[in-house]
């Protein structure tokens, strides 16, 4: 009898022990972003238990971790059935020497991350930053990931732009897919600013996974913001406000008013002289020639022309961007790569027949949504319209080099062809702003 009682007790104890989740004070999913304030960088990470939020860092070559910065955490509860909770830590480093390499780790006395390195933003207007840009990369089938990890670690990029659609999807399996994806990109995002915009795959629970996990400039929970780097003013915004009206039509109008104000400010003569390139990034394109009947395949696409089924009528963005002389518009969503001729209102405005991208008379669009995800490739319609200049269904991503105030270089890398550059252009603009269209 006594032996039987011991056995029952052991079983109960074992069951109780098995139901206790592991303690998670170890930092994971480390990533950095530029907060839009000079000499600063934000370090963001997650723990599943409550800890302090500390970054220890030092200039490359100095004794390790001579400096310490403290921040705080946000408690994030996923919207799924398990209501999983995690702690999203944010620490802003504010005293960085510009353009300098630092070594850092993050965490607390309850556990420290691996050691990473970052380079603070070079604040010079003559800085020529290099970017990797792509959208639509998932936890499963992330074809471009390993090449991007390696290229980041050997110093090919100063920043990465992820143009919406992460993980497929971050909320799935009660947020575990998001955790896993953030771990996958740590070997990129812990080293260079990982700048983002939301896509349709982030829509669950009112985009909460996206809003909580990232730390972009401004105070819009990463939905729309702008920042400056070298000779460029980069604007990130949400195309999803045109599609998920259940989360508030007011978001669409607030964003539109903000875009107008931001573009006005960026176009003040002294401002545009300093940062002549205005580049936008957002998820769903205004134009595309894929065969999937997405919004961009329609002449009256919401992003381009707005919506007339709302009260009041929602304005589109093509006229606004044209009016303020946006130079380059970066998009994703279509799981392909497509480069457009300079285009406005469905008409091509090349600089000249011989040199279409030298002093073009309309914005240039690039669609780069082929980084790789479980949904695989999209396909194109057989006969594209006149504004489509180059198309590829290869998995891959885009590199962008802002050489100086007049020259911007873009090239497309094919992962299917082992890193081969399959397309490239030099965009040359001797005049920026609306006067460039004359
Ligand atoms: Fe998408």
| CB-CB contact of 188 with 149 (8 Å) | yes
Q: Name the nearest CA neighbour of 317 among 370, 275, 258.
A: 258
User: Read out DSSP for 161-182?
Assistant: EE-S-EETTTTTGGGHHHHHHH
Q: What is the pLDDT of residue 7?
A: 53
Average predicted confidence (pLDDT) for the chain: 95
pLDDT band at residue 15 under the 50/70/90 scheme: low
Angle 156-91-160 from CA coordinates, rounded to 5°: 25
Q: Which helix (H) or strand (E) holds 134?
A: strand 130-134
Q: How far is the CA of 293 from the centre of ligand 1 (A)?
A: 13
pLDDT at 4 over 60: no
59: which 2 tokens? Answer: 């200039």
Question: What are the pLDDT digits (tens) for 249-290?
Answer: 999 999 999 999 999 999 999 999 999 999 999 999 999 999
Partners of 178 in the β-ladder: none
Q: What is the pLDDT of residue 415?
A: 97
The predicted model gives 15-36 an average pLDDT of 86
Q: What is the rounded CA–CA span in Å between residue 25 and residue 46?
A: 9
Q: What is the pLDDT of residue 19?
A: 76
Q: How far is the CA of 224 from the centre of ligand 1 (A)?
A: 17
pLDDT band at residue 356 under the 50/70/90 scheme: very high
In the chain, % of residues over pLDDT 70: 96
Q: What is the pLDDT of residue 263?
A: 98
The predicted model gives 393-421 an average pLDDT of 98
Q: What is the pLDDT of residue 6?
A: 53
Burial of residue 263 (CB within 10 Å: 0-12, 13-18, 19+) is: buried
Q: How far is the CA of 432 from the centre of ligand 1 (A)?
A: 30
Q: Is 404 helix (H, G, I), strand (E, B) or coil?
A: coil
Q: How far is the CA of 269 from the centre of ligand 1 (A)?
A: 36
Long-range contacts of 22-25 (CB under 8 A, 24+ apart): 22/48, 23/49, 24/48, 24/49, 25/49, 25/51, 25/107, 25/108, 25/110, 25/111
The predicted model gives 393-416 an average pLDDT of 98
Q: How far is the CA of 436 from the centre of ligand 1 (A)?
A: 32
| CB-CB contact of 433 with 325 (8 Å) | yes
pLDDT at 17 over 90: no
Q: What is the pLDDT of residue 255?
A: 98
Q: What is the pLDDT of residue 1?
A: 47
The predicted model gives 323-351 an average pLDDT of 98
**Angle between the 204-213 and 176-184 helix axes, to the nearest 10 degrees?**
40
Q: How far is the CA of 54 from the centre of ligand 1 (A)?
A: 35
| CB-CB contact of 205 with 114 (8 Å) | no
Q: How far is the CA of 334 from the centre of ligand 1 (A)?
A: 7
Q: Which fold has domain 130-437?
A: Purple Acid Phosphatase; chain A, domain 2 (3.60.21)
Domain ranges of the chain: 28-119, 130-437
Q: What is the pLDDT of residue 18?
A: 59
Question: What are the pLDDT digits (tens) for 198-212?
Answer: 999 999 999 999 999
Q: How far is the CA of 376 from the centre of ligand 1 (A)?
A: 12
Question: What are the pLDDT digits (tens) for 77-126?
Answer: 999 999 999 999 999 999 999 999 999 999 999 999 999 999 999 999 99
Q: How far is the CA of 99 from the centre of ligand 1 (A)?
A: 34
Q: What is the rounded CA–CA span in Å between residue 432 and residue 197?
A: 25
Q: How far is the CA of 393 from the centre of ligand 1 (A)?
A: 16
Q: How far is the CA of 426 from the centre of ligand 1 (A)?
A: 27
pLDDT band at residue 20 under the 50/70/90 scheme: confident
Q: How far is the CA of 265 from the centre of ligand 1 (A)?
A: 30
Q: What is the pLDDT of residue 21?
A: 80
Q: Dihedral of CA 343/347/348/349: which sign?
A: negative
Question: What are the pLDDT digits (tens) for 167-187?
Answer: 999 999 999 999 999 999 999
Q: How far is the CA of 198 from the centre of ligand 1 (A)?
A: 9
Phi, psi (5° rounding) for residue 209? -60, -45
Q: How far is the CA of 283 from the centre of ligand 1 (A)?
A: 7
Which residues lie closer than 8 Å to 384 by C-beta, 6 or more apart? Answer: 289, 391
> What b/e readout covers 280-290, taking b as 16+ CB neighbours within 10 angstroms?
bbbbbbbbbbb
Write the DSSP symbol of residue 290. Answer: B
Class of domain 28-119: mainly beta
């Amino acid at each position: 009898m006594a032996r039987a009682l011991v056995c029952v007790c052991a079983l109960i104890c074992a069951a109780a022990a098995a139901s206790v989740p592991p303690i998670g004070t170890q930092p994971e999913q480390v990533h950095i972003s530029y907060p839009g304030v000079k000499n600063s960088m934000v370090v963001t990470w997650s723990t599943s238990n409550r800890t302090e939020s500390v970054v220890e860092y030092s200039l490359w070559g100095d004794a390790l971790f001579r400096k310490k910065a403290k921040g705080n955490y946000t408690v994030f509860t996923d919207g799924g059935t398990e209501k999983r909770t995690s702690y999203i830590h944010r620490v802003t480093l504010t005293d960085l020497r510009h353009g300098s390499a630092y070594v850092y780790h993050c965490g607390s006395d309850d556990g420290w991350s691996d050691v990473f390195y970052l380079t603070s933003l070079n604040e010079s207007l003559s800085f020529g930053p290099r970017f990797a840009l792509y959208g639509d990369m998932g936890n499963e089938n992330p074809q471009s990931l390993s090449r991007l990890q390696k290229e980041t670690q050997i110093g090919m990029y100063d920043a990465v732009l992820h143009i919406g659609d992460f993980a497929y999807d971050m909320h799935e399996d009660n947020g575990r897919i998001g955790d896993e994806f953030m771990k996958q990109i740590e070997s990129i995002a812990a080293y260079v600013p990982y700048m983002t915009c939301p896509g349709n795959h982030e829509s669950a629970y009112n985009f909460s996974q996206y809003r909580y996990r990232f730390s972009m400039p401004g105070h819009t929970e990463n939905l729309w913001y702008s920042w400056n780097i070298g000779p460029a003013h980069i604007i990130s915004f949400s195309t999803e406000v045109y599609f998920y009206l259940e989360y508030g039509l007011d978001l669409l109008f607030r964003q539109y008013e903000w875009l107008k104000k931001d573009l006005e400010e960026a176009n003040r003569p002294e401002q545009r002289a300093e940062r002549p390139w205005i580049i936008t990034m957002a998820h769903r394109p205004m134009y595309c020639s894929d065969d999937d009947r997405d919004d961009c395949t329609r002449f009256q696409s919401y992003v381009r022309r707005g919506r007339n089924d709302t009260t009041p009528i929602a304005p589109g963005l093509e006229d606004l961007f044209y009016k303020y002389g946006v130079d380059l518009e970066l998009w994703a969503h279509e799981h392909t790569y497509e480069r457009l001729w300079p285009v406005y209102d469905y008409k091509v405005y090349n600089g000249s027949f011989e040199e279409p991208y030298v002093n073009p008379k309309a914005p240039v669009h690039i669609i780069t949504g082929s980084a790789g995800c479980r949904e695989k490739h999209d396909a194109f319609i057989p006969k594209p319209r006149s504004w489509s200049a180059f198309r590829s269904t290869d998995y891959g991503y885009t590199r962008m080099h802002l050489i100086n105030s007049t020259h911007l270089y873009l090239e497309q890398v094919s992962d299917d062809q082992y890193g081969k550059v399959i397309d490239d252009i030099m965009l040359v603009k001797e005049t920026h702003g609306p006067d460039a269209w004359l």
